[in-house]
Amino acid sequence: MSVADNIIKIKNELPEKVKLVAVSKTKPDSMVLEAYDVGQRIFGENKVQDLVSRQPDLPKDIQWHFIGHLQTNKVKFIAPFISMIEAVDRLKVLIEINRQALTFNRVIPCLLQFHIAEEETKFGLDIDEVKDLLESEEYGKMKNISIAGVMGMATFTDDEDQVRREFRRLRNIFRELKVTYFSEEPAFKELSMGMSGDYHIAIEEGSTMVRIGSDIFGERNFH
Ligand SMILES: *Cc1c(COP(=O)(O)O)cnc(C)c1O
């Protein structure tokens, strides 16, 4: 099936309120345009260099989501145009996003990335770190970021019960944060979870945003 067919098929499967992030990392601009031509507007990238080099050549109404680990010294390159930074995994990077967003006179929506996988991975926050962050004086002063929700990745495994358990954990974190810190903030609404291998489970567990790469663009040769 073509990229266009894949987009149409997946869009038909998604509940209306679930947003599709088409993860175009490592794939050519021609494939992005093929998806764009059937109405796809949100695309995800995980490398600053790749994103910065392709963004000027592609339609300006594309909403780029940054979904990778972001180094603080690279925030400035994406700050002028990024629609959402999905993988905020430390206070330091949030401070820098705020600083750069101020420079460009923007408010940048961010998701807090949680470590939910039972396997060991390097990136992501835990609930205690996030509570400290949200209660910190520094956070209170940040006017150029908007926390739009949370993001997480389940373990790469065939064990569906485990994947479901991990997504459920993220949903519970989302609800706890919503009630405790964001009940007056409608902008805090996204629960970004689900990739090609597990997005059906993620949707059953309440995902509002799925990030799908290989089911749209085909397998990647490298990450
Ligand atoms: C690559 C990537 C995806 C998409 O993965 P697929 O399995 O190809 O759908 C989603 N989220 C993040 C954070 C990624 O890095």
For 110-127, what is each residue's pLDDT tens digit?
Answer: 999 999 888 776 678 989
CA distance 44 to 26: 11
Which candidate, 28, 19, 100, places its Cα nearest to that of 57?
28
Task: Provide the pLDDT for residue 197.
Answer: 96
Q: What number is the average pLDDT over the span 195-206?
A: 98
Distance in angstroms (rounded) separating the CA atoms of residues 122 and 112 = 15
CA of 207 to the centre of ligand 1 (A): 15
Of all residues in the chain, what percent are helix, strand and coil, respectively (each to 5)? 45, 20, 40
- Model confidence at 148, in pLDDT bands (50, 70, 90)? very high
Average pLDDT, the chain: 95
What's the mean pLDDT in 166-176?
97
The answer, yes or no, to whether residue 192 has pLDDT greater than 90, is: yes
Write out residues with Cβ below 6 Å of ligand 1. Answer: 23, 25, 46, 67-68, 153, 195-197, 211-215
Q: What is the pLDDT of residues 3-40, one digit of tens each?
A: 999 999 999 999 999 999 999 999 999 999 999 999 99
To which H or E segment does residue 63 belong?
strand 63-66
Ligand 1 atom 5 nearest Cα: 213
Which atom of ligand 1 is closest in space to residue 196's alpha carbon?
9
pLDDT band (50, 70, 90) for residue 128: very high
Q: What is the pLDDT of residue 118?
A: 80
| Closest ligand 1 atom number to CA of residue 25 | 1
Nearest CA to ligand 1 atom 7: 196
Question: Does position 43 have pLDDT exceeding 90, yes or no?
Answer: yes
Cα of 145 to ligand 1 centre, how many Å?
Answer: 24
- Give the model's pLDDT for residue 211: 98
Atom of ligand 1 nearest to the CA of 199: 9
pTM: 0.96
Question: Bigger pLDDT: 125 or 178?
Answer: 178
User: Ligand 1 test: best mutation among 123, 151, 195, 215, most atoms within 8 Å of CB?
Assistant: 195
In whole angstroms, what is the distance from residue 177 CA to residue 131 CA?
8
Question: Which atom number of ligand 1 is nearest to the Cα of residue 220?
Answer: 8
Query: Is 109 a residue whose pLDDT tops 70?
Result: yes
**135 CA from centroid of ligand 1 (Å):** 31
